[in-house]
Amino acid sequence: MTLHSSSQQQPDIVCLSHLRWKFVFQRPQHLMSRFAREGRVFYVEEPVFEDTENKLVQAECPRTGVLVVTPHLNERDRENADSTVQLLLKEFLRTNAIVNPVLWFYTPMALSWVPPSLDAAAVVYDCMDELSMFRGASVNLHAMEQQLLKKADLMFTGGVSLFEAKRDLHRHIYPFPSGVDVTHFRQARTMAASSDALAGGRRTRVGFAGVIDERLDTELLAECARLKPEWDWIMIGPVVKIDPEALPRPENIHWLGMRDYKDLPGFFAEWDVAMMPFALNDSTRFISPTKTPEFLAAGLPVVSTAIRDVVRPYGELGLVRIAHSAAEFVQAVEASLAQKSDSAWIERADRHLMGLSWDSVWSGMNKLLASRLRRDQKNTALPASVDVRERETAHV
């Protein structure tokens, strides 16, 4: 069965994820939305524990058609959560006539949710982050990943450095750095600021949008704000896994909370420079920030700390300025303020972004998945893992 044949139906996709569908709109949402254009997609979230009967709550995403499935479990069943979810999913699969689906994993821990009797058409592990290095990671995560690797037909990684760290773990592993919806974010270049959330006069604005957690260097941010009190430092995104009360609160740092994906270009239109003040620690060792191409698509100069997948290729190509201290960060922002009017820089950024669309990421993954499904029919070989140098410049 192929994914591109007009005469055959795409297999159902059951995506099992640690990320809530209504959380920040990122890699899982972009990819599953595209698969949903061709067939049924079921997005299974982690359980919610409350004083309720055990059940699956279903909600169709009106924007994409993806059916979001959330296990709601009674608190007393927390210790037996995996087996309870298995039973609920087994009945769900039967009721919805889901037979031989593609199982698409974002967390190895979800392997425990899958009914043992389920026969999958293919198993995909899209390793978007090194979850074992995140705060609060399960002590069983590494062992569960080993089990998932044995079952997976395909493995993708969310960045090149993560691919390099894991390339020997699976024969069919491919790096797919996250893409960008260029058309969506390019709106910021021409639109008027749609939602000016800041009071007072117009000042230099340096902004970040993304999840605010242990991966951010809040001490660096506080020092930058101290060095430049006349600038506004704008932070958009949900605060998770860290104490909101511990965030620096000078008057010129503005914590605006989570905003809808569709509204982000309006906020970006208000900024002069975008920033990525990531800490350099275990949790950021293998990250490939999705915000890098989004900020560039919006026409914003970008200043970042020395995250490996930002330095290479964005820093090396002169598309992002890299800073190693608060003083360097401020200097890099100052150097970037004139960059928005530099047509040559914008043209270089646009050329680089041409090969980074979410459609191209999805298409490359889709072709590999189709090849895997054809292999089952015709007993043909799947191509071995590609050289990382190929994947840095073009999607498979």
pLDDT in tens, 258-288: 999 999 999 999 999 999 999 999 889 999 9
What span, in angstroms and rounded, lies between the C-alpha atoms of 167 and 158? 13
Give the residue numbers spanning the domain of 109. Answer: 13-179+358-393
Q: How far does CA 106 lie from the centroid of its chain? A: 10
Residue 385 has pLDDT above 80, yes or no: no
Residues 37 and 173 reside in one and the same domain: yes
Residues 349 and 362 in one domain: no
DSSP label at residue 239:
B
Question: How does pLDDT run across 288-329, given as a tens digit for each residue?
Answer: 999 999 999 999 999 999 999 999 999 999 999 999 999 999
301/231 same-domain check: yes
Between CA 314 and CA 160 the distance in angstroms is 13
Identify which has the larger pLDDT, 9 or 133: 133
Helix (H) / strand (E) element for 160: namely helix 160-166
- Mark whether 175 and 191 lie in a shared domain: no
Domain count, the chain: 2
Based on the fold, state whether residues 189 and 304 are members of the same structural domain. Answer: yes
Same domain, 135 and 173: yes
Same domain for 173 and 218, yes or no, is no
pTM score of the predicted model: 0.88
3-state class of 53 per DSSP?
coil
Report residue 88 CA to chain centroid gap.
Answer: 28
Number of H-type helices and E-type strands within the chain? 13, 15
CATH code for the domain of 312: 3.40.50.2000
Band (388; pLDDT cuts 50, 70, 90): very low
- The verdict on residue 214 lying in a domain is yes
155 in the same domain as 33:
yes
User: Rounded to an integer, what distance in angstroms lies between the CA atom of residue 15 and that of residue 63?
Assistant: 17
Check whether residue 240 and residue 340 sit in a common domain: yes
C-beta separation of 184 from 190 below 8 A: no
